[in-house]
Structure 1
Amino acid sequence: MDQTLYFRLLLIAVCSLSECIQRRYHYININKTWTEAQSYCKEKYTDLATVYNMNDMKELKNTVNNNLNVWIGLKNTSTHKWKWSLGDPVNYTNWGNEQPNYQTNCTFVRNVTWQSENCNREMYFICYNDSSKRYIIERSNKTWRDAQRFCRENHSDLTSVRNKTENEHIQEIINNTDKSVWIGLFRDSWEWSDNSDSTFRNWKSGEPNNNGEVCTEVHMSAQGQWNDAGCHHTITFVCHEDRLILIKENLTWSEALKYCRENHMDLFSVHLNMSEKNLNTVVQHASTREVWLGLRHSCIVGIWFWVSGEIVCDEKWADGNEPAVDNCETVTRSGAVQSGGDHLWISLPETERRNFICSRYD
């Protein structure tokens, strides 16, 4: 077999098996108040733990591995905001007349328009399956939270409705039911310490009871379900450590690679299952228009590859910036990501100076 072809096939195989952890949890077996725990986590790691989904919840439980109560980073701010259960930004709504009712916190669709309702009312609901890109109407009556739990266990989540086209599609699905149907829009005042947009909640039944308790503890003895608690209590806690760190120092690509390997793990490589939202959140704080990634071009093989060893599997090059490289024998080019706009990839001479992203662990 041609040596160049063999090398490409080998890299493709490695790429298809790549895995990536977005954050690591660290159990701290010291009793502190919520505020003291928050300060400790910010000093030693990234912040008090943020939980994005049930997989994170399982990882957190495995990290703690006992039946104690532990602090996580969710706190009540007293400022209510509408949010999608899936975590999508709320850029579109279709409220009916005199809606929403700000005494209620969950949303249903009936006759095209949206209405807010008490979350304990039971009705049909629509799930969304991210793998199949399908909407699934469930014709059984559940409370909003039970519907959310069902959708997360059997599909992805309660559906978001992000624009007029999606709203019309949802209406087509429910037209012949003559029923009110839950969607994933809800309102709460709980925010994460690291200001993340995670809308994941895993409250115990009847919680939060909003009895002046504004911090969140996880009851490990109750399958990791959550309870609102007084922040002054002293219990153990969980920190998280983000995989990515933005370095706001302008270095060449080779200098950035050296810096990351000496101070962290490596210049960051984008894996197949890397959350784009996580990467985009980091790069938008850069002070340069582009940010170096661990993306490199090989003149010998004629391919782009990641410094972690994977071939480029999912290309996101900006228009007019295709990966073909001219004069690569004289000008070595490396890859960066736009810090604004659509966060597409840019090919630059490696001698350019830019901010860069390091990975903290493998």
Structure 2
Amino acid sequence: MAQTLYFPLLLIALCSISECVQRQYHFINENKTWTEAQRYCREKYTDLATVDNMNDMIQLMKSVNDVRLWIGLQRKWQWSSGDPALFLNWASGQPDGRDECAFMKNGEWQDGKCSDTWFFICYNMSSGLVFVNQTMTWRAAQSYCRQNHIDLVSVRNQNENQQLEKFINDSHTSESEVWIGLFRDSWQWSDQSNSSFRYWNTGEPNNAGNNENCTVLIENTNGHWADNTCNHKFPFVCHEDKLIVIQQNLSWSEALRYCRQNHVDLVSVQSVEMQRRVMNVVKLASTEAVWLGLHNYCSMNMWLWLSGDMVCYQNWAPGNGSTPENCKLENRKGAVQSGGDQTWISLPESHRLNFICTNY
């Protein structure tokens, strides 16, 4: 009986060991605006600091002086369609931070009060751009476009911006300001992380003066946060991500060799926290799936990480994760899907995919 129970008890013991996953934080004792700090961090490290949980917060506090400093959380501009605003064409001095909705004037963008009334441009799948010869608030214009067409217009690149400018000029409007579908909404991390962790101080964020769109860690508050005007100058914290997507198409064995020669290893995903970090970086991949450090150990009829650890936390896609009868012949390895729910799938190791190396 003791022998029968031994192996299950060993599995429970091994799976109870929690994985310690930490970003590396770097305190930069130079006074910069939020945008300047972001540029510095992206050049020297990965990005302005992202904080996923209280463990991250504790590690960050160990690396900084007790002063007011920038972290990477900012109120973001996005399109009414839900798409992120990757291309921006602001006029000089814009956005000035006081307003939440965007209009086009002479081919450039400015932020304005959403309660102002302007003409606007809708987008329709069949007819393309639609000029609406009525003045409305931004929200009313958004509602009109969604009810009668698809949405307020989005502008994804310089070519589309020039087409829109020409379309407005050809519409012979006497108004020079025209609503587009850009607005400032919720808080977003600079590295596009989907982390929902927040550590606001009491009464924050309060958007004092309607002009506080960036986040500082406040001195003498045990690391709590407040919103602040982005053009103020403070020290800041960068983070260095320890996961790297390699955009080369290699077999699993070739990917393993590359990671061990150039970094530490193929990544192991032994916790929800590490899965979140994999999800944040895997979107950079150019293949539909990306190799992980996960392999099938046929003689034991089980999956293992390269470290020898068993797969305790699991994120398999339906129909994956079981050991195939011919696994020795197929020699299957584990990969994470780069789209969709980013779940794990098993594939023959000869498939050629991007892969994730770790420096942990």
Fold match (TM-score > 0.5): yes
**Alignment RMSD:** 3.5
- Gaps spanning 5+ residues in structure 2: where? 81-99, 101-183
> Is structure 2 residue 167 aligned with structure 1 residue 195?
no
Distance 1:243 1:2, change over 3 A: farther
Shift of 1:7: 8.1
Deviations 1:223-275 (A, max 9, x none): 22323334344332111223432222111111111222222221111113435
Shift of 1:356: 1.1
Distance 1:325 1:31, change over 3 A: same
Match of 1:205 among 193, 197, 203: 203
Distance 1:17 1:28, change over 3 A: same
State the distance in 1 between where 2:282 and 2:289 align. Answer: 8
How many residues are paired up? Answer: 258
SS in 2 for 1:196: coil
Distance 1:236 1:323, change over 3 A: same
Shift of 1:336: 1.2
SS in 1 for 2:208: coil
SS in 2 for 1:221: coil
Query: 1:35 maps to what in 2?
Result: 35
Query: 2:93 maps to what in 1?
Result: none
Shift of 1:322: 4.5
- Gaps spanning 5+ residues in structure 1: where? 82-102, 104-186
SS in 1 for 2:58: helix
- The question of whether the paired residues in 2 share the 8 Å contact of 1:268 and 1:357 is answered with yes
State the distance in 2 between where 1:11 and 1:355 align. Answer: 31
Distance 1:208 1:222, change over 3 A: farther
- The question of whether the paired residues in 2 share the 8 Å contact of 1:11 and 1:309 is answered with no
SS in 1 for 2:63: helix
1:338-349 alignment, distance < 5 Å: 338-349=337-348
Give the AA of the match of 1:291: V
SS in 1 for 2:300: coil
State the distance in 1 between where 2:286 and 2:237 align. Answer: 31
Query: 2:57 maps to what in 1?
Result: 57
> Is structure 2 residue 285 aligned with structure 1 residue 286?
yes
Give the AA of the match of 1:236: P
Query: 1:20 maps to what in 2?
Result: 20
State the distance in 1 between where 2:244 and 2:199 align. Answer: 26
SS in 1 for 2:41: helix
Give the AA of the match of 1:202: W
1:198-277 alignment, distance < 5 Å: 198-199=195-196, 200-205=198-203, 207-277=206-276
- The question of whether the paired residues in 1 share the 8 Å contact of 2:22 and 2:56 is answered with no
Query: 1:326 maps to what in 2?
Result: 325
Query: 2:45 maps to what in 1?
Result: 45
Distance 1:50 1:260, change over 3 A: same
- The percent of aligned pairs where both chains have the same amino acid is 55
Distance 1:284 1:233, change over 3 A: closer
- The question of whether the paired residues in 2 share the 8 Å contact of 1:49 and 1:238 is answered with yes
Distance 1:359 1:210, change over 3 A: farther
- The question of whether the paired residues in 1 share the 8 Å contact of 2:288 and 2:337 is answered with yes
Shift of 1:12: 5.5
Deviates more, 1:253-262 or 1:313-322: 313-322
Query: 1:305 maps to what in 2?
Result: 304
State the distance in 2 between where 1:343 and 1:212 align. Answer: 37
Distance 1:260 1:18, change over 3 A: farther
Distance 1:313 1:221, change over 3 A: same
- The question of whether the paired residues in 1 share the 8 Å contact of 2:246 and 2:356 is answered with yes
- The question of whether the paired residues in 2 share the 8 Å contact of 1:210 and 1:228 is answered with no
State the distance in 2 between where 1:50 and 1:331 align. Answer: 40
Shift of 1:27: 1.6
- The question of whether the paired residues in 2 share the 8 Å contact of 1:79 and 1:189 is answered with no
Give the AA of the match of 2:60: L
Distance 1:196 1:322, change over 3 A: closer
Q: Which has the higher contact order (CA 8 A, sep 6+)?
A: 1
- The question of whether the paired residues in 2 share the 8 Å contact of 1:250 and 1:354 is answered with yes
